[in-house]
């Protein structure tokens, strides 16, 4: 998969490309990355990429010409790539969108700065507007890194055998189960016995219960929009019965 990043601060990505699973994916050519400096497409010798907003007001706006030049050049290099503008105006990014984007041949990620980019660029040259959340950043670069990170780990072969994306949080619209590793006892706190039992069916059942409980307690909104399967409904009913029993006992 090709990732092309358009930014006036392309060096921000150097440490991002050089560490962890992203670095390994690049070394193994699972992803190909390039950064384009939007300034290089500014026609004037000062390479100006921003200007005052028409209609007045504070802040500056990214000029359309350098952006259009950079986007067209990137798209010409990877014709099948989709152009994404990172903006608070966009569809909010989530795991489902990460899975969608992971099937693209490539992404051209346009990182805005200042108050935003000239609207005519959005209309003519952008396929998707994506937001990483309802808050305002100083630039789209961090948002682009988040998209590249979440999408790259979904590319087959990027996560080694031991890590599997299908066990991810949100992969089945549930939060991930609790994780434990050595030591068996840490400051008096013991690892749940079932995880030491080697009984894989029991462990899978425990992990499903752990996911359901954590999702119920921390993100019940996810449960509301999830169509629960028979086993999940059974577990939730069992808890309901136990909670009812507790309440009864408490009443007596
Ligand atoms: C943003 C977000 C974001 C807005 C103006 C950059 C800033 C400046 N991008 N999700 N939230 N972008 O705040 O993606 O251009």
For residue 1, the number of C-alpha atoms closer than 13 Å in the C-beta half-sphere is 21
Clarify whether 115 is annotated catalytic. Answer: yes
Question: Per residue in 167-180, pLDDT tens?
Answer: 667 777 899 999 99
Query: Which atom of ligand 1 is nearest the CA belonging to 62?
Result: 15
Residue 182 has pLDDT above 80, yes or no: yes
CA 72 to each of CA 111, 128, 199: distance values in angstroms, whole numbers, following the listed order = 15, 15, 56
CB 179 within 8 A of CB 171: no
Does ligand 1 have an atom closer than 6 angstroms to the CB of 38?
A: no
Question: Per residue in 52-106, pLDDT tens?
Answer: 999 999 999 999 999 999 999 999 998 999 999 999 999 999 999 999 999 999 9
Clarify whether 168 is annotated catalytic. Answer: yes
Residue 162 has pLDDT above 60, yes or no: no
């Amino acid at each position: 998969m090709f990732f092309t990043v358009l930014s006036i601060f392309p060096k921000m990505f150097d440490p991002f490309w050089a560490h962890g699973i992203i670095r390994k994916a690049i070394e193994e050519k699972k992803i190909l990355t390039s950064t384009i400096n939007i300034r290089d497409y500014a026609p004037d010798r000062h390479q100006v990429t921003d200007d005052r907003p028409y209609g007045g007001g504070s802040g500056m706006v990214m000029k359309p010409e350098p952006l259009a030049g950079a986007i067209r050049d990137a798209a010409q290099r990877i014709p099948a790539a989709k152009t994404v503008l990172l903006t608070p105006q966009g569809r909010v990014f989530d795991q489902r969108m990460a899975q969608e984007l992971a099937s693209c041949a490539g992404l051209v990620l346009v990182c805005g700065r200042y108050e935003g980019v000239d609207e005519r660029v959005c209309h003519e040259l952008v396929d998707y507007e994506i937001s990483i959340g309802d808050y305002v950043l100083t630039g789209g670069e961090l948002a682009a890194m988040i998209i590249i990170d979440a999408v790259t780990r979904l590319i087959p072969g990027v996560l080694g055998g031991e890590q599997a994306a299908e066990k991810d949080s949100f992969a089945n619209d549930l939060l991930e189960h609790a994780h434990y590793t050595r030591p068996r006892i840490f400051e008096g706190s013991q690892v749940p016995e079932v995880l030491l039992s080697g009984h894989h069916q029991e462990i899978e059942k425990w992990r499903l219960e752990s996911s359901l409980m954590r999702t119920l307690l921390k993100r019940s909104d996810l449960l509301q929009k999830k169509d629960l399967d028979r086993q999940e409904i059974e577990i939730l009913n069992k808890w309901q019965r136990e909670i009812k029993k507790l309440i009864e006992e408490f009443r007596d």
